[in-house]
Structure 1
């Protein structure tokens, strides 16, 4: 890396026009039509709409029969809006916002619960802190509410699952180049080919270099993801391997001033860019096997091995702007190495018992995660924990910084072993009434060794996670549902770093989600959804009133709200993707972080997004999107607010030839100043000014 570089729905949204001619068609992942959900494919003209999922229930299920809120962003929607990150995706997912993640990781907030670990690849855990690229993604599925019955520990507010591109016995020939503001250069390729003897191969790749609207900030990343598959009439095997590297400047944004974002320049970098960087290396090996024993019985096994190597270092604003116009900088670095190994086996049986149709899922999961973590504090000129800089001149380079252990730092080795059994029955009581019942048992054992002392802690949790859902279809196009589900987060925390002598004996945090909703398909190509929910988080730590130095498990948080979304084709030339969310999330009983009544950060009361695409002619399509968010607190202190904002985006698509297409994306068309997110009160990320990206894509 180089160094420089009150309840309302938004009044009306401009109708957006986007490319119609470039959509080659969404692909869904289905192998055997009877019960399976492993592989492949049916082209669709309605490129934003997905009607089925194999993730939400671990069986091939129509979305109309899933008793929870699910938002799916397809490859076509990702491509049309030139999305490159999870943060880009969740802009169009109601009830989800993206945190700044200290400038080096994905950090969404789902229904008021911030997470860095609730990520999955093809339904298997991918819980390391890094920025995920979308170059090899078929679609991104966001399942909201407590999801432990399907995914295990965590997932209290929801999970984000990436369905990956892999060998699918279809011919794929695509390459694209994208150039844009701030020296963006991005190249992607996707080549797939059916082969002789039942084999199929595919390789997907990306390389990107970019600078930023932020001074001195740049990123370089590349990834390569080959896969190979083999199948006969009953057996399907797909193996894939991904190597991904991401090198970037760690940008922690700007500090606050008098309870608002400071008056710093939008581009101003606070800290030392030469000592603020992150390097991530990810290797993922994915093996999926599916055997169709009978037309109504299938066995699946998936193994995911992941090796993650990450180091980051940053110099950043550690406090608000003082009355003298000065800001303190602090510094630290961190290395995290993790190796994951997960194996899942599912048996799916369709049967008629006592006149009722059942889809029965029985499964087991084994997992082992080994982590090594080292964190060191930076001392300026070898002695001071802080260095003051002025608001007018916040970039400071060349100051010697010594990194060494301090009281709050870490040097630990963690081994987590998990084993789970689960069972689920989807019962068709009548053609109009369906029942979903599920129960999962997790055994989660964690051993924690502090390398700085003789201290060793261990924690064993036995977790029972139920799921209940009822789906009623008064008419064929309308589904009404009610659901109840429970998730748990062990006291070690989502990244295993919270275990101490005092917390090792604590019960896990508990998440209970109550939800009612509907899914309506007024036409074959449009889906409308709505959900009303309450999510209670209990067993959070709180100070003992009699002894503030002692922690108790009496803290509570409640999130409740309403979500609505629309996806599909309004007309043959007009496609839409959008949603609205009304949310309230607050501390309901005092926790270790905040007293009762505090609002949860990064949860806007109202948020709205809409992306439409309209084909003007067979050659031209245009687009316009709108994103609106009311003000949010930056942290649980409720001391700093980010103001509300509305942003408009636009696009133009041109079919130059049958296999050659061009597109122009303009982000923040009206060049508005806004602040979309933060990490705490003094790491506030200014929004990008007007940015332009031009792409050329070919099929061959």
Structure 2
């Protein structure tokens, strides 16, 4: 939960306007400290706050209003995160149609975006943050969800889209200290500090600190998190700015793999039962992330930004996991896993914004280099007794110890990317096109033959935007992405994976965007995403693998966000998804519906301020039924969940709020990781919080 009042600091000088070319609106120079790709002079029209955001720069790496980006982009602003009392990324994403959550084996963020699963398509300020862990939000300004394949901007992966967190930065225009605390009806609580101050005319500092203790309705579940994130902003002249950022996150919690299934459904009557060992199931992660970014204006038209990031992740988890039940007994399995990963990433972008004969031109040229070293191991486990135990309210799990090593890897990954993109503005019509070259060099140092694969891929992107009015656009786009054949974590490389062509993603999308006023934004889109080069068993030669696997997702998405009425903020969305395998694979035949792909999703969140001091919030999530795995043997039922909130500003410095989750105490199952790792949703619960602004 973030406790520095976002309504006093929310992007007050950094909003791109959807009416940017209107001669009636003013143009001013600002320093966009919370933007990752913009030059330091952009066009703004005033303060835009609440649940709306019109910055499309993450989708283009250029100063582009959202209405001119030919792609679906969803925002969760700091105001919305505050109003929903959300501290973890997965909880925020529940309110984003088109995304369904995997349980992540109880130790990591894992999502399905437009039917494509990923543990790696996460970014922090536009740079890859791909380790497997739970991401906190105490130092985050907003969350951006970019839908559809787009390797030109992000490189490999991102088949269904990517999730980018924008960090809080040190600002020169305010000196604030925000303190806060909250506690919920399970006993979980959190404390936080958000302090920002200009140190002098040329240096500003900010620090965010958070401490949380976890609890929920599940037996034996607990944990704690500590994070600290200082940042400095330096003015190195009228046209140069340097930002330094460091984050230390330390997370420790019970590894909860959920419940098994029975008779094609989640096992009934055991939503609180822990199907693990309270002494053995543990997940820990320590993350260090350090970043530097330099922004420089050569002229008003030509700008450069250079970023560097070092990240170190030390991850462990051990788990006892349910593998199945017959209604009388339950069978258990498990393992332990250690991962140590270091990433170095460097990125540079040159942006040239000019005109030729009355035609606006924005040219992007960029390079990115990275190296990643990963040492990982997995051990089996041994039970002091039978691994099959009697099914009862509290399981009698025998003592567990670490067994023999079953897997080990030591991999190194080096990448080089270069990309160019051109945006042409003819007034009524805008065109965008570009291409990216990626060289991907992965070596498994522990494989018997020191397996290595080198992929060199070209990824294009094309789009056209028709603007019959400055606040209305109609667009169509085509984009691609790729994923080398070694999973999305690239910790090992088998003999087979080293020989196969990368998976390919092709996204076709058409949509409309409309901003009836600067504080309100609506969008709708239809799309088709095809995934090919997935591995499949050769039907003529059983035991041999060929590249014939294909799947396709077609869908429709609509949303509206912002100020519906002067006292009513909302973020409302709907998604329809129809996905299936379109060629026979070793897992399922053509025509099989993709798993964890609910056909209909609705997410609604509203805040209404009844007076200057009192407000209420109301949210609803509907998720259609979905298969827990590609087998189609287990169905997660559809559900509706309602949330409620109340807000009271005691005075200018103190505010209080209460958030009620699952108001009607719905029994539901929002996520799974296969047929026997199904996560029950929390029952009715309440969180009470207080914020103090010094």
Give yes or no for TM over 0.5: yes
The structural deviation recorded for 1:331 is 1.4
The structural deviation recorded for 1:674 is 0.7
Give yes or no for the alignment of 1:194 onto 2:198: yes
The 1-side partners of 2:575 and 2:560 are apart by 12
Q: TM-score, normalised by structure 1?
A: 0.93
The structural deviation recorded for 1:197 is 4.2
SS at match of 1:589: coil
The 1-side partners of 2:254 and 2:662 are apart by 23
Is the contact made by 2:411 and 2:492 (CA closer than 8 Å) also made in structure 1?
no
The structural deviation recorded for 1:560 is 0.8
The structural deviation recorded for 1:25 is 5.2
Q: Which of 623, 626, 637 is the equivalent residue of 1:632? A: 626
After superposition, give the CA deviation of every residue in 1:94-140 in whole Å (9 maximum; x if it has no partner): 21111110000000100000100000010000000000001000000
Aligned residue number for residue 444 of structure 1: 440
Aligned residue number for residue 177 of structure 2: 173
1:287-302 pair list within 5 angstroms: 287-302=292-307
Give yes or no for the alignment of 1:303 onto 2:308: yes
Aligned residue number for residue 428 of structure 1: 425
The structural deviation recorded for 1:40 is 10
SS at match of 2:481: strand
Is the contact made by 1:349 and 1:361 (CA closer than 8 Å) also made in structure 2?
yes
Give yes or no for the alignment of 1:367 onto 2:364: no
Can you give the 5+ residue segments of structure 2 that lack an aligned partner in the other structure?
A: 16-29
Can you give the 5+ residue segments of structure 1 that lack an aligned partner in the other structure?
A: 1-18
Aligned residue number for residue 536 of structure 2: 542
Give yes or no for the alignment of 1:233 onto 2:238: yes
Is the contact made by 2:444 and 2:492 (CA closer than 8 Å) also made in structure 1?
no
The structural deviation recorded for 1:235 is 0.5
Give yes or no for the alignment of 1:206 onto 2:202: no
Give yes or no for the alignment of 1:141 onto 2:137: no
The structural deviation recorded for 1:379 is 2.1
Is the contact made by 2:667 and 2:681 (CA closer than 8 Å) also made in structure 1?
yes
SS at match of 2:544: strand
The 2-side partners of 1:283 and 1:212 are apart by 28
Aligned residue number for residue 648 of structure 1: 642
1:613-692 pair list within 5 angstroms: 613-692=607-686
The 1-side partners of 2:278 and 2:631 are apart by 28
Aligned residue number for residue 15 of structure 1: none
Moved more, 275-284 or 598-607: 598-607
Is the contact made by 1:252 and 1:316 (CA closer than 8 Å) also made in structure 2?
yes
Give yes or no for the alignment of 1:111 onto 2:114: yes
1:258-407 pair list within 5 angstroms: 258-319=263-324, 321-322=325-326, 325-381=328-384, 387-405=387-405
After superposition, give the CA deviation of every residue in 1:645-684 in whole Å (9 maximum; x if it has no partner): 0000000000101111000000001111111111110011
Is the contact made by 2:381 and 2:400 (CA closer than 8 Å) also made in structure 1?
no
Q: Which of 225, 250, 257 is the equivalent residue of 2:255? A: 250
The structural deviation recorded for 1:85 is 1.7
The 2-side partners of 1:23 and 1:455 are apart by 58
SS at match of 2:553: strand
The structural deviation recorded for 1:36 is 6.1
Cα distance change of structure 1 residues 521 and 112 upon mapping to structure 2, 3 Å threshold: same
Give yes or no for the alignment of 1:604 onto 2:608: no
The structural deviation recorded for 1:160 is 0.2
Is the contact made by 1:191 and 1:204 (CA closer than 8 Å) also made in structure 2?
yes
The 1-side partners of 2:41 and 2:377 are apart by 43
After superposition, give the CA deviation of every residue in 1:563-614 in whole Å (9 maximum; x if it has no partner): 0011001111011112000001111112233221222111100010111111
Cα distance change of structure 1 residues 38 and 181 upon mapping to structure 2, 3 Å threshold: farther
The 1-side partners of 2:582 and 2:149 are apart by 19
The structural deviation recorded for 1:491 is 1.0
Is the contact made by 1:202 and 1:226 (CA closer than 8 Å) also made in structure 2?
yes
The 2-side partners of 1:40 and 1:351 are apart by 14
Cα distance change of structure 1 residues 45 and 347 upon mapping to structure 2, 3 Å threshold: closer
Is the contact made by 1:39 and 1:168 (CA closer than 8 Å) also made in structure 2?
no
The structural deviation recorded for 1:35 is 12
Is the contact made by 1:272 and 1:396 (CA closer than 8 Å) also made in structure 2?
no
Cα distance change of structure 1 residues 96 and 139 upon mapping to structure 2, 3 Å threshold: same
After superposition, give the CA deviation of every residue in 1:36-66 in whole Å (9 maximum; x if it has no partner): 6267998735411001132110012100000
Is the contact made by 1:260 and 1:641 (CA closer than 8 Å) also made in structure 2?
yes
The 2-side partners of 1:24 and 1:264 are apart by 47
The 1-side partners of 2:469 and 2:361 are apart by 21
The structural deviation recorded for 1:454 is 3.0
Query: Which of structures 1 and 2 has the larger relative contact order (alpha carbons within 8 angstroms, sep 6+)?
Result: 1
Q: Give me the CA root mean square deviation.
A: 1.9
Aligned residue number for residue 12 of structure 1: none
The 1-side partners of 2:158 and 2:595 are apart by 18
Cα distance change of structure 1 residues 402 and 210 upon mapping to structure 2, 3 Å threshold: closer
1:90-105 pair list within 5 angstroms: 90-105=93-108
Aligned residue number for residue 9 of structure 1: none
Is the contact made by 1:25 and 1:76 (CA closer than 8 Å) also made in structure 2?
no
Q: Which of 1, 24, 27 is the equivalent residue of 2:8? A: 24
The structural deviation recorded for 1:400 is 3.7
After superposition, give the CA deviation of every residue in 1:217-276 in whole Å (9 maximum; x if it has no partner): 012001000011111211000001100010000000100000001113221101212100
The 1-side partners of 2:254 and 2:456 are apart by 41
The 2-side partners of 1:327 and 1:162 are apart by 40
Is the contact made by 2:375 and 2:491 (CA closer than 8 Å) also made in structure 1?
no
The structural deviation recorded for 1:22 is 7.7
SS at match of 1:24: helix
SS at match of 2:289: strand
1:11-160 pair list within 5 angstroms: 23-24=7-8, 26-27=10-11, 29=14, 37=38, 44=47, 46-160=49-163
Aligned residue number for residue 14 of structure 1: none
Give yes or no for the alignment of 1:522 onto 2:486: no
1:571-590 pair list within 5 angstroms: 571-590=565-584
Give yes or no for the alignment of 1:224 onto 2:228: yes
Cα distance change of structure 1 residues 612 and 635 upon mapping to structure 2, 3 Å threshold: same
The 2-side partners of 1:494 and 1:602 are apart by 18
Moved more, 351-360 or 284-293: 351-360
Is the contact made by 1:629 and 1:644 (CA closer than 8 Å) also made in structure 2?
yes
Is the contact made by 1:271 and 1:394 (CA closer than 8 Å) also made in structure 2?
no
Say how many residue pairs are matched: 670
Cα distance change of structure 1 residues 29 and 551 upon mapping to structure 2, 3 Å threshold: farther
The 2-side partners of 1:242 and 1:519 are apart by 36
Moved more, 67-76 or 47-56: 47-56
Cα distance change of structure 1 residues 44 and 691 upon mapping to structure 2, 3 Å threshold: farther
After superposition, give the CA deviation of every residue in 1:347-394 in whole Å (9 maximum; x if it has no partner): 00012124321000000000000000101111223xx8x711222245
Cα distance change of structure 1 residues 168 and 589 upon mapping to structure 2, 3 Å threshold: same
